[in-house]
Chain A
Amino acid sequence: MVIFCGIGGRMVEVTYDNGETSALKKGIFDGLPIGVGYMPVALTFGLIAGSTGLTVAESVLMSMVVFAGASQYMALSMIALGSGALEIVLATFIVNFRHLLMSASIHERAEKSSKKVKALYAFGLTDEVFAVASTKSPPVKSGYIIGTAIVAYSSWVLFTAVGFFAGTVLPYFLQESMAIALYALFIALLIPSIKKDGKIVIILAILGGAFHTVFQLFMSTGWAIMLATIVAVVVFEMFQLVGKKEVQAK
C-alpha cells in the first residue's frame, strides 16, 4: 500500500518506521538463544554470589550494572580471596578491553544512528550479542541490536536472582547439557556465513580458534580472545597480499 500511495521522502519514512518495529522483533527473536544460553551461567553466578557473601540486592545489582559474565565471575573469586575493590575494578577493565575491538567492528556494520541510540545498545554489547549482531549482513538495524540485547539482559538479570535463591533450579543433567548452548549458538552464527562467503570465513575462524588455543595457555581469556582475533585478521591479510603478488608475478 505504502509503495503505491507514497511519494518520495514520505514513502521512505513510512517503510523505515515499519522496518524499525520488525527489526526490533527480529532482534528479540534472535536474542532468545542467548537468553537460553545465559540461563545456566546466570543461575550459577547467583548461586556462587550468595555463597561468596553478597546479598541478593548486590548480586542482582552487579548483573544489572556490569552485564559481563567473565568479569562478574572473576569479581566473585577475587572477593573470596579478599582482593580490594580497586584491584577488582582494574581486573574488570583488563578483561573487558577486548570489547573495544568488537565495538569498532559493529561501528562498521551498524546503520547510521544517533549517538544516544548507539550509547544505548553499546551497553548490551556482550560477546554473544556482538556475535549475533555482527553476523547479520550490514547495515545492521539499531532496533535489531537493541532487541537482541534486551533478551540477553533480561535473562542475565532474572536468572541471577533465581540462582541466588534457588541455586541451580534445573535438573542436573539439563544444567550440564546447557553448557553447550552458547557454543551451539556461535556455530549456528558461523555456518550461514560460511555458506555465503565460503573459504574466507572458515580460514578466519580456524585462525581465531587456533591462536586463542595457544594464547590462552599463558594469558587471561579476555586478552587471549582479543589478541587471537587481531593476529588472525592480520595473518589472513598478509597471506592474501602474498597470494596476490604471486599471481601478479606470473
Chain B
Amino acid sequence: MSMPIVWMIIGMGVVTYIPRLLPLVMLNTENWPVWSKRMLSRVPYAVLGALIFPGIISVHENVWFGVVGGVIAVILAYIGTPLIVVVGGAIAALAVMTVFL
C-alpha cells in the first residue's frame, strides 16, 4: 500500500464521518421552536423523493426499465410485502425484461 493513498483514504474517511457524527452528538434541539422540529421530521420524505427522482429514470438506457421497476415496487410495497421481497421483485421483473427485449 502506498502511504500517500492511505493518508488520502483516512482523510476521506474523516471528512465523511464528521457530517454524519456532529449533529447526532452535538445538537440540543430541546429548546428549538416547534416549527423547526416539525421541518426536521419531514426531511426523510423529501430526501426519499430526491433519492428516487430523477435517478430511477436512468437505471437503464431504456427509460421503461426504471418505470416498470418503479411500478412493480409500488404495487409490491402497497400490498405490504417485506422490503426484501419488493427489491427482489423489481430486480426479477427487470431481469425478465432484459432477457426478452
Task: Give the interface of A toward B (CB within 8 A).
Answer: 29-30, 32-33, 36-37, 54-55, 57-58, 61-62, 65-68, 71-72, 75, 85-86, 88-90, 92-93, 96-110, 115, 118-119, 122-123, 125, 127, 130-132, 134-135, 173-174, 176-193, 195, 200-201, 204-213, 216, 224-225, 228-229, 232-234, 236-237
Using a Cβ–Cβ cut-off of 8 Å, how many residues does chain B contribute to the interface with A?
74
Residues of A close to B11: CB separation below 8 A: 85-86, 88-89, 92
* Cross-chain contact of B77 among A103, A134, A191 (Cβ < 8 A): A191
Contact check, A92 vs B15: say whether CB atoms are below 8 A apart: yes
Q: Find B17's partner among A102, A123, A182, A233 (CB 8 Å cutoff).
A: A123
Q: Which of the residues A37, A55, A68, A85 comes within 8 Å of B8, measured between beta carbons?
A: A85
B interface residue numbers (CB < 8 A to A):
1-2, 4-13, 15-25, 27, 29, 35, 37-56, 59-60, 65-66, 69-70, 72-74, 76-78, 80, 83-84, 86-95, 97-99
B92 to chain A, nearest CB (A): 8
Main SS of chain B's interface residues? helix
Contact indicator B19/A103 (Cβ below 8 Å): yes
Complex: A180 Cα to B24 Cα, angstroms: 31
How many angstroms from the CA of A30 to the CA of B60 in the assembled complex?
A: 26
Task: Pick from A30, A188, A207 the residue with the most CB of B within 10 Å.
Answer: A188
A-B interface, 9 closest residue pairs, ranked by CB to CB distance from nearest: A208-B49, A209-B53, A205-B49, A208-B46, A184-B90, A177-B94, A191-B77, A65-B13, A93-B15
Residue from B11, B47, B83, B90 having most chain A Cβ neighbours under 10 A? B47
